[in-house]
Structure 1
């Protein structure tokens, strides 16, 4: 019995040891069978050739009026700081001397206590009367001495002394008269008058405050007209004729609000002079434009306030026999794509502009072959001689600036 059990155990161990290699062989065969099957190749996609499509515009030779745009800030042409010329307490401030208020030339804006100066004037006038009386006595005494010397009744020394006394009395009378004028002037200076028709920018003194000579009372500016400094670049100068002398004709300018683009307000101005020197940083020449009645007090138009940023449009020279290109159709500053009408093939060329602005690029008519169309759709791939489809005008619902490369689908030969 024991022998049978040992035999049975040996056979079981032998079977287990034989099963492991068999399992490995079976697994290898199954894996080989799976990997040795050739997979079918994926179908190769065929690249569909697509034709370039573009919008076009006809090019015409025309005359183009140059419109120069620049910017500036409205400035007062005459701004002064009012100061007191004498000392005293401020006893009155005009309602016209408030920030933003208008005033007329000669209007009393500030009054200083005049009592001290009225007293000084009375004293000066009394001294002048006394000096005039002394002069009158001195003249009478001199005349009497001159008559007596004719009869040798008095010595010549007394005559000379009388003449000297008269001269001294005349000098005293002149001094007293000058003191009267000074006292009158000081009394007048107790009233601060408006130097011109203007407006108050800032007030720096109030009722009851002490004013001293040269102490500021406020800042005012004239409202008859204002001015704008407009920078003109060296590129723009050849297309403008600016006034250099007083008798040169002014140049018309239209100003618009530079803050609110939606505003329809505009103001007419005239360039009346230039500053005569180039700005040392930008090398621009500043032209001075004048705006009459800027606050609309006489015309009733919208006010153009000091400090207002404005955009200026200036009419320049007229360019003759040129071609006007939409700026959106010009690539890399000087490259355009033309379309030959006869076979609708592309002709990319390089052009030199003689003028450009935010909307147009102007070239000489000789730079464009006659009868060509201009491609206005952005095309990344536009080789010469490529045939294109023209997008009809009816489908061109978007502007030139909204054209995208979606309209230009190029196929590159494989």
Structure 2
């Protein structure tokens, strides 16, 4: 009888404990419902949803990712440039340079002088090229050890606002584009076709229409043109054709190549993109 009385007391205690636990669970349920009513998922800025990790009626654990999205106010483009190729664009006016306005590959330390650069992002399509005006924002902190390049981050403001349905698409994530950087024009520099420089010398025609070899010092080569540091004067005539057996002092019958001159002028002044630019 004592044993059975002890069992009865245990069952009565269990009932009272269950009643207390039900009240605690009820309070927790009411608190959870109140938290749910007060919960609002709000992004800190306008975004375009990318991946949604939850659905209606699904339980979400604390710290679980709900969704991911990209901001639509500004688009960032990371362009990889070889080290040192941006030096002509970032140099001071008195430094070595040329009146080249466009350069689509480059690198190095930009510092505060990147504010003087103009940037453009171009999307190549079968029908036409679509471009956005961009701004050089910053440089990546580390260099890529495999490609030995530095990443330059450019920004495009309001990429969705600039879109036109059926004509101009928005600049969206993972779009493969080309980056064109434009620096300040350099004065008093000479640009000639890169093919005209042969082992550090250039063939010119003197006042008596005779062939002369002049050593030149090349500052840098971009595309199809070479920018000279020294060696030529502005009024000298450069031989751009291949001569079968050039001999110093031989008599020539020079003819101007107007088409080549126009191409060199267009590339040197930035009115036309460099050949093979990326």
Q: Do they fold alike, i.e. is TM over 0.5?
A: yes
Shift of 1:373: 0.6
> d(CA) in 2 for partners of 1:186 and 1:393?
78
Residue 234 (structure 1) aligned with residue 83 (structure 2): yes
Q: Deviations over 1:138-193 (max 9, x none)?
A: xxxxxxxxxxxxxxxxxxxxxxxxxxxxxxxxxxxxxxxxxx4x66335545x644
Map residues 9-408 of structure 1 onto 2, 5 A cutoff: 123=27, 180=31, 184-189=34-39, 192-206=41-55, 210-213=58-61, 216-238=65-87, 239-240=89-90, 244=111, 249=115, 251-257=117-123, 259-260=124-125, 263-296=128-161, 302-331=169-198, 334-340=200-206, 342-364=207-229, 366-369=230-233, 371-391=235-255
**Unaligned regions of 5+ residues in structure 2, if any?**
1-22, 92-108, 265-278
CA, structure 1 residues 211+347, in 2 after alignment: closer, same or farther (shift >3 Å)? farther
Q: Post-superposition, which runs of at least 4 consecutive aligned residues in structure 1 deviate over 6 A?
A: 119-122, 396-401
Shift of 1:228: 1.2
Shift of 1:121: 10
Q: Deviations over 1:262-309 (max 9, x none)?
A: 623210111122224333334433222111111235898642121122
Shift of 1:336: 2.5
1:121–1:183: 8 Å Cα contact kept in structure 2? Answer: no
> d(CA) in 2 for partners of 1:202 and 1:237?
37
Q: Secondary structure at the match of 1:277?
A: strand
Q: Secondary structure at the match of 2:253?
A: strand
* TM-score, normalised relative to structure 1: 0.44
- Larger relative helix fraction: 1
2:79–2:152: 8 Å Cα contact kept in structure 1? Answer: yes
CA RMSD of aligned residues (A): 3.9
> d(CA) in 1 for partners of 2:218 and 2:24?
77
> d(CA) in 1 for partners of 2:235 and 2:29?
95
> d(CA) in 1 for partners of 2:118 and 2:263?
32
CA, structure 1 residues 272+400, in 2 after alignment: closer, same or farther (shift >3 Å)? closer
Shift of 1:254: 1.2
CA, structure 1 residues 362+249, in 2 after alignment: closer, same or farther (shift >3 Å)? closer
> d(CA) in 2 for partners of 1:398 and 1:325?
9
Q: Secondary structure at the match of 1:321?
A: coil
Q: Secondary structure at the match of 1:354?
A: strand
Shift of 1:374: 0.7
2:117–2:184: 8 Å Cα contact kept in structure 1? Answer: no
How many equivalent pairs are there? Answer: 220
Q: Secondary structure at the match of 2:35?
A: helix
* TM-score, normalised relative to structure 2: 0.62
CA, structure 1 residues 324+249, in 2 after alignment: closer, same or farther (shift >3 Å)? closer
Higher relative contact order at CA 8 Å, sep ≥6: structure 1 or structure 2? Answer: 1
**Unaligned regions of 5+ residues in structure 1, if any?**
1-118, 127-179, 402-414
CA, structure 1 residues 244+368, in 2 after alignment: closer, same or farther (shift >3 Å)? closer
> d(CA) in 1 for partners of 2:24 and 2:44?
26
Structure of greater Rg: 1
Q: Secondary structure at the match of 1:338?
A: strand
